[in-house]
Amino acid sequence: MIVYTIKRIFVAFLILLVVSGLTFSLSHLSADPALTIAGEQASDEDIEAVRKLYGFDKPVVEQYFNWLSSALQGDLGKSYHYKAPVVEMISGRIGTTMTLGFLAILFALVVSIPLGTIAAMRPNSIIDRFALLLAVFGQALPTFWFALMMIILFGVWLRWLPISGNTSWAHFVMPTIALGYYATPALMRLTRAGMIEVLSSDYIRTAKAKGLLPVSVLFKHALRNAIIPVVALAAVWFGFMLGGSIVIETIFNLKGIGWLSYDALLRSDLPVVQAIVLIFASFYVILTLFADLLNAYLDPRISVR
């Protein structure tokens, strides 16, 4: 188990290294960042000076290792546009994004687990078909369009909810639903499949043979086992959701790191983009690591492999 964990952590670090290297080369090989920083009216000498100042004249590999060594010390560089340290810019906004992601995954779980459970208890019933229909429609609904439609309906026509900003909890309602609903079909299907499998298992038959009431058979014996893979998948989806927050935060003008990355891309502010890619990638890697370890802990056979 310990060997397995160490191996997984090592691979996770390796992945982050490759991801950061790829993003770095992608952004530095193509456009000339010196041009962006100096501005359109800058003279050739100015651009050359900027190039020297930021070290753009050095080979890309050297630039990458400089960036990497300072990144490992917790310094992700300075924003080209705002001239502020990237770490400060991100730490001021990450709370909003985390809140949004957390609320969204919570919303997805609260919808999908009861729906999946009821569907599994009565396969092919009306409720099951309804849940399936919801899943199929939900999967086809473009997130950003759904968000816009909600704004028109709840924000403009009904005037129930504020449509932009992040000053109160009400500002989070629509973004949460817009971001969270997209995960519900997958989570619901997994809950349903898991519940159907668990409900037909031998230990559920034992629980019934003990004379336990249906409530405790369902909630104590079945749900607990069926829900573990759902939680693991939800952890991975949380990582995806941080990525999805770019569109949602931009639409609702929620100023988290998703919005920040959009803003930075518009201004070709590479250090900021780079840092956010790294943060998203780290989240994904940590969450999948968590999901894998959770599975390995529950199924001792995995770590033997």
Nearer to another protein, 6 or 18 (CB): 18
Angstrom distance (rounded) from CA 290 to CA 296: 10
Given a contact cutoff of 8 angstroms between Cβ atoms, the answer to whether 96 and 168 are in contact is: no
The nearest distance, CB 45 to another protein, in angstroms, is 26
Lookup: tokens for 267: 């201004």
Nearer to another protein, 52 or 220 (CB): 220
The full length of the chain comes to 305
Nearer to another protein, 69 or 206 (CB): 206
Write out the H or E segment, with its range, that includes residue 251.
Answer: helix 223-252
Given a contact cutoff of 8 angstroms between Cβ atoms, the answer to whether 88 and 163 are in contact is: no
Nearer to another protein, 19 or 169 (CB): 19
Based on its alpha-carbon atoms, the radius of gyration of the chain, rounded to whole angstroms, reads: 24
Binding residues (CB under 8 A) for another protein: these are: 11, 14-16, 18-19, 22-23, 26-27, 29-31, 136-137, 139-145, 148-149, 151-152, 156, 201-203, 205-213, 216, 220-221, 224-225, 242-244, 246-247, 250, 261-262, 265, 268, 273, 276-277, 280-281, 284-285, 288, 300
The nearest distance, CB 17 to another protein, in angstroms, is 9
Q: Which of 294, 293, 295 is nearest to 4 (CA)?
A: 293
Q: Which of 247, 242, 217, 234 is nearest to 294 (CA)?
A: 234
Residue 87: is it exposed, middle or buried by C-beta count within 10 angstroms (0-12/13-18/19+)?
Answer: middle
The nearest distance, CB 248 to another protein, in angstroms, is 10
The nearest distance, CB 142 to another protein, in angstroms, is 5
Nearer to another protein, 25 or 99 (CB): 25
Nearer to another protein, 49 or 54 (CB): 54
- Nearest 5°: phi and psi at 171? -65, -20
The nearest distance, CB 97 to another protein, in angstroms, is 12
3-state secondary structure of 290: helix
Nearer to another protein, 125 or 169 (CB): 125
The nearest distance, CB 73 to another protein, in angstroms, is 22
Residue 74: is it exposed, middle or buried by C-beta count within 10 angstroms (0-12/13-18/19+)?
Answer: exposed
Distance of CA 232 to the CA centre of its chain: 13
The nearest distance, CB 133 to another protein, in angstroms, is 10
